[in-house]
């Protein structure tokens, strides 16, 4: 996994450990809603009632299993921060669309925190596996997916730029692990920008957005065949 090495200097600042509580009734309720199609994946993810479940592996597996090509919304309506729309396109090395690819996205909130009550959830792997703002979506026949969220912030007490982590899996292709960065991020400059480019992180400029979004960004993900 390609990472900016200096990220590790900050991963354990304010780590959070998930508490063990009996969330079975709430998990079963969410599962039933998804199975009976009385709620969408986005509605479950943005319902504050289910926020305590977001760190749980069982809940995340349920969201993954329910992933589809619908617009993915991962931030509650009252989540602080700029509302952004992210348009993604997944292609192969010949720029042909890759349909039904599984896309996993996770990010910090407007404070730069992965957890509800701490910047990190036990370090890099903990953030990846337990971040509060997360979701799974699949690409459509045109290789496209759409994410509605808030603009994340960089980690506190650091100069790291804001980013959205993106993992993509598709049959016949190598796993893709990267980050979406924002060209207008004031932290993304000088040596940090140069390093981000060397690491081939995806940097895009904001586009014209329509209400209710403050900004829109478009990213292209290119997969390599196995």
DSSP assignment of 88-107: EEEE-TTS-B-TT-EEEEEE
pLDDT digits (tens, 9 = 90+) for 178-223: 999 999 999 999 999 999 999 999 999 999 999 999 999 999 999 9
Predicted confidence (pLDDT) at residue 8 exceeds the cutoff of 50: no
Q: pTM score, two decimals?
A: 0.90
pLDDT digits (tens, 9 = 90+) for 133-167: 999 999 999 999 999 999 999 999 999 999 999 99
Residue 56: how many other CB atoms lie within 10 Å: 17
Q: Edge-to-edge strand order for the sheet containing 215-222?
A: 72-73, 144-150, 83-91, 215-222
Could you tell me the two tokens for 37?
Answer: 């199609």
Residue 115: how many other CB atoms lie within 10 Å: 23
- Alpha-carbon gap, residue 131 to 113, rounded angstroms: 9
Total residue length of the chain = 226
Peptide bond into 212 cis (omega under 30): yes
Predicted confidence (pLDDT) at residue 99 exceeds the cutoff of 60: yes
List, in order of start, the domains of the chain with CATH numbers.
Answer: 70-222 (2.60.130.10)
| pLDDT value of residue 124 | 66
Q: How far apart are the first and last CA of the chain?
A: 16
pLDDT digits (tens, 9 = 90+) for 30-85: 999 999 999 999 999 999 999 999 999 999 999 999 999 999 999 999 999 999 99
């Amino acid at each position: 996994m390609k990472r900016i090495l200096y990220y590790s200097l900050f991963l354990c600042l304010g780590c959070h450990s998930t508490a063990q509580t009996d969330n079975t009734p709430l998990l079963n309720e969410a599962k039933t809603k998804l199975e009976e199609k009385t709620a969408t994946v986005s509605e479950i993810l943005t319902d504050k009632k289910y926020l305590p479940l977001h760190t749980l592996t069982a809940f995340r597996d349920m969201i993954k299993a329910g992933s589809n090509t619908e617009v993915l919304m991962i931030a509650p309506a009252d989540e602080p921060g700029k509302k952004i729309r992210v348009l993604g396109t997944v292609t192969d090395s010949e720029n042909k669309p890759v349909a039904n690819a599984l896309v996993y996205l996770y990010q910090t909130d407007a404070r730069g925190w992965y957890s509800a009550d701490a910047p990190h959830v036990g370090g890099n792997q903990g953030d990846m596996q337990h971040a509060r703002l997360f979701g799974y979506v699949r690409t459509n026949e045109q290789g496209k997916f759409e994410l509605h969220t808030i603009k994340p912030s960089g980690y506190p007490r650091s100069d790291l730029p804001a980013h959205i982590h993106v993992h993509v899996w598709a049959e016949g292709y190598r796993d893709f692990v990267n980050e979406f960065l924002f060209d207008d991020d004031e932290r993304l400059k000088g040596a940090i920008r140069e390093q981000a480019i060397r690491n081939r992180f995806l940097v895009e400029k904001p586009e014209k957005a329509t209400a209710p979004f403050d900004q829109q960004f478009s990213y292209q993900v290119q997969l390599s065949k196995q």
